[in-house]
Amino acid sequence: MQGSGGLIYLAVLVVAFYLLIIRPQMQRTKQMRELLASLAVGDKVVTIGGLHGTIVEMVDATVVLRAADGVELVFEKTAVARKDAPPAPAAEAPEQE
């Protein structure tokens, strides 16, 4: 009977490990694959280093970002962390009398 308690404990640890470590990592990997597949010329992106730019060219595993007028930088696609969201419209402040 003592062996079955150890098996239950081991099974609980395996399930917890899966739910807390493996599954979230698989979801992050899937999201990153979808992001990289959806990149297109003209997208505004942010790199893992924090550089904001616009994609001007894509060749195989690299992207060329325009960071400023006349400044184009070459990055690996995997260096793109996210697409830059357009700024939210400013809410109108209530008028004070």
Across 67-85, average pLDDT: 93
Residue type, 32: M
| pTM for the whole structure | 0.68
- Number of residues that this document lists for the chain: 97
| 51 and 33 fall within a common domain | no
For residue 15, the enclosing domain spans 1-38
Whether pLDDT at 86 is above 80: no
| 54 and 29 fall within a common domain | no
**In CATH, what number is assigned to the domain containing residue 62?**
2.30.30
| 50 and 80 fall within a common domain | yes
Whether pLDDT at 45 is above 70: yes
d(CA 87, CA 36) in angstroms, rounded, equals 22
92 in any annotated domain: no
| 5 and 33 fall within a common domain | yes
Residue type, 74: V
Please tell me the least confidently modeled range out of 20-24, 55-59, 74-78, 91-95: 91-95
